[in-house]
Amino acid sequence: MRKLSLLLGLVLTLLMGGSLFIGTLPLDLLLQNASVLWELRFPRMLIAVSMGVSLGLTGAVLQGFLRNPLAEPGIMGISSAAALGAVMVIALGLGGSHLFAVPLAGMMGVVGVTFFLYKLMQKHPNPLTLILTGLALNSLLGALMTLILTLSHNPYASLEIIFWLLGSFAHHSLGQVAFVIPLSVAGWIILWRLRFTLETLSLGEEMAIVLGASPKKMYGFLILGMALSLGPLVSLVGVVGFIGLLVPHMLRPFVDHKPADLLLPSALGGGIMALAADMVVRLLSNHIDLKVGVLTSLMGTPFFLYLLLKQPRSSHATF
Amino acid sequence: MLHFEHLTIGYADRIFIKNFTAHFLPGQLVGILGPNGSGKTTLLKTIAKLTPPTEGRIILGGMPLQAFSEQNLARVRSYIPAELTCAWPLATRHVLEIGRSADHRNWIETLDLGNLLDQTFNTLSSGEKARVLLAHSLMRSPKVILADEITSHLDALYQDKLMDLLRDYTRTGKVGVVVLHQPDLAYEFCDQVFMIEDQKLHLLSKKPPQLKGQILS
């Protein structure tokens, strides 16, 4: 696990440095305009990396907690909930009213949906219910967002919302970044502390309790950690799908399938994937205005279908 | 060390054992027999604090079970379920590491697990799993060891070996409670043998004629 994390950390660091020099502006012009570097590319890089880390980490934690490789914040409607919260605030014209308004609304959305999913999992403990509920939630939340868009009288705001929903790391100020990232880091720390619970849950909820974990109590921390690490970021960036599904799944064999050891590599891998996707978007930006959320969904959907079809019938999580 | 005080176990609509009081001293291995659905597993789970008793209480080392935190309880009792599947395809060696066991001693050698360590736990046979889970349990040096049908899938050789091991382990000042399907094993290795019947725990005399050689299942 250490070697893998070191390697991923190294790649991430190189990409973080390299990403500052990728874009439409030629290098010589860039060096003359240091402000482009620090005011545009630097915050963009930070946002991309934190979003990736949050997605990779929440994906790994959710999969470990629910003992289901199909769990992911996007599929379960958690990202959409953050988006809906944010969209409501934007549509009400409160977006600019307060620096905290949009991120807070995003967090509320995540808390609401995660709590609902928690209650549901207690009553109907099977992964199929979870996935189908996620599907239903996603389409409900999507419909609500469309409704808000249609009801909005300001065409400019509607356009903003549409572009925002597609997910992009661009156009965020250092000030916004400085507000959102500490919240995410707090969420990462909370999720990181769930390692023991994840490890013992491999043997089922009963054995987790026998071994000294309290999975039911830890559900609260799971919800809080996800709300903090995803809510504010999603409310700023929009929905970036499938990183939380792909990254943990690809890295799991390298940590011998140990759910707790997956967290750090998955967080780093998520950062790499989000940043790499954003770099592709930027390299192509002269030709098409591709949104990063569109790119990750294009890559992720076939992979998700593959996983769904490959999953053994008997696999089950018990909650 | 382990007291049952007016213990009633089961569920609101299905009582297994009513108003039972007993006291087990360190060094005792206790065998529980009973037909299917008589509440053997529920009794073990109640002692493990996985299921609350309907009435009465269990006292462990002078402290009521309910007063233990999960963490503290994990240090003193272990529980081996009758069946276990790992959610991930973990290798046996990694399953043994789950829960940070402190004492690795020679349990791996004693239970002949050396050649199983690199195999995926879920692919092991039930008997092999039972040996792995017993090792996992013993590595934590529990004061109270609870085992549910640990011998059911084992061949005769390992049945004796595991029961022997459990008896020797409890002789070092621990209490063991094991649910068994084979009365002969219970009589041979356990200090006290109980039978659950008609919502009561009957203390059986050794080798009562009506049970001799008969397999209850």
Kindly state the tokens that stand for A168: 């992009």
Q: Tell me if B84 and A257 make a contact (CB, 8 A cut-off).
A: no
pLDDT for residue A101 is more than 50 = yes
Dist CA A168 CA B118 (whole Å): 45
Cβ-contact B42, B50 below 8 angstroms = no
Q: What does the angle CA A311 – CA A312 – CA A314 come to, to the nearest 5 degrees?
A: 130
Q: Tell me if A203 and B91 make a contact (CB, 8 A cut-off).
A: no
pLDDT for residue A39 is more than 80 = no
| pLDDT score at A301 | 80
pLDDT for residue A284 is more than 80 = yes
Dist CA B167 CA B159 (whole Å): 12
Element (DSSP H or E) covering residue B108: helix B107-110
Q: Which residue has the higher pLDDT, A129 or B139?
A: B139
Taking the Cβ of residue B70 and every Cβ of chain A, the question of whether any pair is shorter than 8 Å is answered with: yes
Determine what percent of chain A is predicted with pLDDT higher than 90.
31
Q: Tell me if B87 and A202 make a contact (CB, 8 A cut-off).
A: yes
Nearest to B99 among A200, A252, A317 (CB): A200
SS3 of B126, please? helix
Q: Which residue of A63, A199, A207, A217 is the best one to mutate when testing the B interface, meaning the one whose CB has the most B CBs within 10 A?
A: A207
pLDDT for residue A67 is more than 60 = yes
Dist CA B104 CA A256 (whole Å): 21
| pLDDT score at A11 | 94
Residue A127's pLDDT band (cuts 50, 70, 90): low
pLDDT for residue A140 is more than 90 = yes
Mean pLDDT of A96-113: 80
Residue A53: name the closest of A196, A238, A222, A248 by CA. Answer: A248
Interface of A with B (CB under 8 A): 67, 196, 199-204, 206-207, 209-214, 252, 256-259, 317
- For the stretch A210-244, what's the b/e string if a residue is b when 16 or more beta carbons lie within 10 angstroms of its beta carbon? bbbbebeebbeebbbbbbbbbbbbbbbbbbbbbbb
pLDDT for residue A45 is more than 70 = yes
Q: What is the DSSP letter of B102?
A: S
Q: Closest-CA residue in chain B for A249?
A: B88
pLDDT for residue A34 is more than 80 = no
pLDDT for residue A125 is more than 70 = no
pLDDT in tens, chain B (217 residues): 898 999 999 888 888 998 989 888 888 999 999 988 888 999 999 999 999 999 999 999 889 999 999 999 999 999 999 999 999 999 999 999 998 766 666 888 889 898 999 999 999 999 999 999 999 999 988 999 999 998 888 888 899 999 999 999 998 889 999 999 888 899 889 999 999 988 888 888 553 433 334 444 3
Q: Which residue of B49, B50, B66, B88 is the best one to mutate when testing the A interface, meaning the one whose CB has the most A CBs within 10 A?
A: B88
pLDDT tens-place string over residues A249-271: 889 999 999 999 999 999 999 99
Q: Distance (Å) from the C-alpha of residue B74 to the closest C-alpha of chain A?
A: 5
Range of A92-106, A165-179, B125-139 with top mean pLDDT: B125-139
| pLDDT score at A95 | 66
Dist CA B137 CA B117 (whole Å): 16
Dist CA B120 CA A291 (whole Å): 42
Dist CA B94 CA A298 (whole Å): 36
Mean pLDDT of A289-297: 82
Q: How many CA atoms lie within 13 A of A47 on its CB side?
A: 31
Q: Distance (Å) from the C-alpha of residue A304 to the closest C-alpha of chain B?
A: 19
Q: Closest-CA residue in chain B for A209?
A: B70
Q: Which residue has the higher pLDDT, B177 or A155?
A: B177
CATH top-level class of A76-238+276-311: mainly alpha
Q: Closest-CA residue in chain A for B94?
A: A258
Dist CA B197 CA B208 (whole Å): 15
| pLDDT score at A40 | 79
Q: Closest-CA residue in chain A for B68?
A: A212
| pLDDT score at B31 | 93
| pLDDT score at A161 | 75
For residue A318, the chain B residues in CB contact (below 8 A) are none
Query: pTM score, two decimals?
Result: 0.86
Domain ranges of chain A: 76-238+276-311
| pLDDT score at A170 | 74
| pLDDT score at A314 | 44
One-character DSSP codes across B138-190: HTT--SEEEEESTTTTS-HHHHHHHHHHHHHHHHTT-EEEEE-S-HHHHHHH-
Q: What is the DSSP letter of B69?
A: -
| pLDDT score at A116 | 87
| pLDDT score at A168 | 74
Dist CA A248 CA A243 (whole Å): 8
Taking the Cβ of residue B48 and every Cβ of chain A, the question of whether any pair is shorter than 8 Å is answered with: yes
Q: Closest-CA residue in chain B for A259?
A: B88
For residue B85, the chain A residues in CB contact (below 8 A) are 204
pLDDT tens-place string over residues A203-235: 998 999 999 998 888 887 888 888 889 888 888
